[in-house]
C-alpha cells in the first residue's frame, strides 16, 4: 500500500502532536484477577467448587488458544497439564464442565463485568497529567454491533447487541456496554439509550470521540466536552439544520463569496481491489459563531473517490469537530476520520471471523454479552502484547498453552 498526504494550511497554524501514541495502562496478573474478583458471584455457595476468577481466567485462556465455544473452552481445560491449571486457579487440576460454564455465563451480571472491565482499561494512573496526553492525541470510536448467531433465536429482553468504545491508536476496547433490545426498540434508538452511560465511564482528557451520524447529538457532544474531551462526527439528515448549513457552506449558490478559511488534505491509497482510493478533506472555521452547536470549532467536507471494477465511484460526507485548527489541522481531521473505521476492521471483523462471534449460538440469559466481553479481553491482551496478526497467534497458542498461561500469570518486569 502506498500512502501520501498533503495540506495547504499555513505552517504557523499546525502544532504537531506526539510522534507516538499516548501511553495506556498495561494489564498485569494482579489487575486481571482484581477485575474478576470484584464481580458478585451469582451462584449459590452450597457445593461451590470452582472460584469465579478461576473460571473466567480459564475462559480467557481457552479463547487465546483458539478454543472459542463454551464446549471448546471446557474441553481445553480437560486437556491441560496440572501445573498449568494450578497457575490458573485450579489446584487439583480439575476444571468445570460445559454445563457449569453455561449456567455461570447465563447468570453473571454483564453490567458489573462491563464496569469492572472499564475501570481498568479506561482508567488513567493517578500520576498521569494532562501533559501526558495532549489534546486530541487519541481517537476513541463508538459503534454498535449485533451477534448474528444470537439474533436467530429472537428472544426479547436479552442483550444481543452492544456498544463499544475502541481506542484507534492502540487497537483495544476501552468499554463495552450491553444493550437490551426488544421488538419495540430499533437498533439506533437502543444505541443512543446506552451511549451516555458508556461515555460517562471513560476519561476523555486528550481524547476525541469519533462516530457516525447517529451519535451527532447535542447532549452527547455536551457530555464529552464537559468531561474534557472533544468530538469529530459525521453529520447527516438526522440534524437537518446543521447538515444544510454545512452543505451550503461548501457548495454555495452562484455569485456568493468563497470561504474565508479553507484548509485541505488528501490521501491516496492503492490496493485491496480498489485503485487510486483518494480522500480529500476541506476544513473551515467559517461556520463558527453562526451555528449554535455546542463546542463547534471546525466543519469539514470529505469526498472519497475510487476506481472499482472499471468504474469510478465517489461519495461525499460532511462533519463537525470541537478541535480548533491549532490543535488539529486538515490532515489530522482526515486521519481521525479514517482511524474511526479501525473499529470495523480491527474489532468487529476480528471478533466475528477470527474469534467466532458470528457463529456463536449461545443465546440464553446473559451468555452472549459475557462471552463478547471475554473476547474483548482476550483481544486486548493480544494487542497489548504487540500482536497484530490475531489468527496466526491463536493457532500458535493452541500448540503452546504454556505461553498462554505465562501471558496471564507472569509478573511484569
> Which residues contact residue 118 at a Cβ distance below 8 angstroms, ignoring those fewer than 6 apart?
174, 175, 176, 201, 202
pLDDT score, position 324: 97
pLDDT score, position 150: 60
pLDDT score, position 247: 94
Radius of gyration of the chain (CA): 23
Q: Write out the DSSP string of 311-352.
A: EEEEEEEEEEES--TTT--HHHHHHHHHHHTHIIIIIIHIII
Residue-range domain boundaries for the chain:
25-109+366-413
pLDDT digits (tens, 9 = 90+) for 106-135: 999 988 888 887 876 755 433 334 447 899
pLDDT at 226 over 90: yes
pLDDT digits (tens, 9 = 90+) for 362-378: 777 888 889 999 999 99
- If residue 6 lies in a helix (H) or strand (E), which one and from where to where? strand 5-7
Q: Strand pairing partners for 146?
A: 161
Reading the block at residue 278, the C-alpha cell is 483518494
Of 133, 129, 135, nearest in space to 327 by CA: 135
d(CA 142, CA 392): 27
Q: Is 282 helix (H, G, I), strand (E, B) or coil?
A: strand
> Which residues contact residue 96 at a Cβ distance below 8 angstroms, ignoring those fewer than 6 apart?
49, 50, 55, 58, 74, 77, 104
Local structure of residue 298 (DSSP, 8 states): E
Reading the block at residue 269, the C-alpha cell is 491509497
> Which residues contact residue 331 at a Cβ distance below 8 angstroms, ignoring those fewer than 6 apart?
5, 6, 7, 9, 265
pLDDT digits (tens, 9 = 90+) for 328-349: 999 999 999 999 999 999 999 9
36's torsion region: left (phi>0), alpha (psi -120 to 50) or beta? alpha
Using an 8 Å Cβ cutoff, are 161 and 179 in contact? yes
Reading the block at residue 337, the C-alpha cell is 476520520
d(CA 209, CA 138): 9
pLDDT digits (tens, 9 = 90+) for 155-181: 554 545 889 999 998 899 999 888 876
Q: Strand pairing partners for 30?
A: none
pLDDT digits (tens, 9 = 90+) for 44-58: 888 789 999 999 999
Question: Which pTM does this prediction carry?
Answer: 0.84
Name the CA dihedral angle for 134, 321, 170, 281, rounded to a multiple of 10 degrees: -110
Answer with the residue of higher pLDDT: 222 or 169.
Answer: 222
Using an 8 Å Cβ cutoff, are 402 and 82 in contact? no
Amino acid at each position: 500500500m502506498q500512502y501520501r498526504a498533503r495540506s495547504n494550511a499555513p505552517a504557523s497554524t499546525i502544532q504537531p502532536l506526539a510522534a507516538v501514541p499516548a501511553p495506556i495502562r498495561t494489564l498485569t496478573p494482579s489487575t486481571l484477577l482484581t477485575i474478576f474478583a470484584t464481580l458478585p458471584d451469582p451462584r449459590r455457595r452450597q457445593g461451590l467448587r470452582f472460584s469465579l476468577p478461576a473460571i473466567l481466567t480459564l475462559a480467557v485462556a481457552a479463547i487465546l488458544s483458539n478454543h472459542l465455544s463454551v464446549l471448546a473452552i471446557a474441553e481445553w481445560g480437560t486437556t491441560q497439564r496440572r501445573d498449568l491449571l494450578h497457575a490458573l486457579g485450579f489446584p487439583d487440576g480439575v476444571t468445570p464442565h460445559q454445563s457449569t460454564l453455561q449456567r455461570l455465563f447465563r447468570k453473571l451480571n454483564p453490567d458489573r463485568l462491563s464496569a469492572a472491565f472499564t475501570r481498568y482499561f479506561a482508567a488513567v494512573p493517578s500520576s498521569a497529567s494532562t501533559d501526558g496526553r495532549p489534546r486530541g492525541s487519541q481517537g476513541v470510536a463508538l459503534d454498535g454491533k449485533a451477534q448474528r448467531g444470537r439474533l436467530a433465536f429472537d428472544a426479547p429482553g436479552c442483550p444481543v447487541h452492544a456498544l463499544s468504545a475502541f481506542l484507534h491508536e492502540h487497537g483495544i476496547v476501552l468499554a463495552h456496554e450491553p444493550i437490551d433490545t426488544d421488538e419495540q426498540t430499533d437498533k439506533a434508538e437502543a444505541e443512543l439509550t446506552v451511549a451516555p452511560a458508556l461515555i460517562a465511564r471513560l476519561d476523555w482528557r486528550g481524547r476525541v470521540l469519533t462516530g457516525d451520524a447517529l451519535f451527532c447529538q447535542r447532549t452527547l457532544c455536551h457530555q464529552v466536552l464537559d468531561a474534557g474531551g472533544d468530538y469529530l462526527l459525521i453529520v447527516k439528515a438526522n440534524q437537518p439544520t446543521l447538515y444544510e448549513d454545512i452543505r451550503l457552506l461548501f457548495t454555495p449558490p452562484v455569485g456568493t463569496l468563497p470561504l474565508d478559511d479553507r484548509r485541505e488534505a488528501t490521501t491516496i491509497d492503492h490496493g485491496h481491489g480498489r485503485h487510486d482510493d483518494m480522500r480529500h478533506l476541506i476544513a473551515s472555521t467559517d461556520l463558527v459563531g453562526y451555528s449554535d452547536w455546542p463546542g463547534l470549532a471546525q466543519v469539514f467536507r470529505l469526498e472519497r473517490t475510487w476506481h472499482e471494477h472499471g468504474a469510478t465511484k465517489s461519495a461525499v460526507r460532511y462533519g463537525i469537530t470541537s478541535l480548533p485548527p491549532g490543535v488539529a489541522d486538515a490532515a489530522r481531521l482526515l486521519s481521525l476520520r479514517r482511524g474511526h473505521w479501525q473499529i470495523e476492521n480491527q474489532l468487529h471483523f476480528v471478533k466475528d471471523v477470527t474469534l467466532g462471534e458470528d457463529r456463536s449460538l449461545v443465546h440464553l440469559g446473559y451468555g452472549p454479552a459475557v462471552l463478547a466481553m471475554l473476547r474483548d479481553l482476550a483481544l486486548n491482551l493480544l494487542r497489548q502484547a504487540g500482536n497484530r496478526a490475531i489468527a496466526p497467534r491463536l493457532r500458535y497458542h493452541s500448540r503452546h498453552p504454556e505461553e498462554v498461561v505465562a501471558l496471564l500469570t507472569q509478573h511484569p518486569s
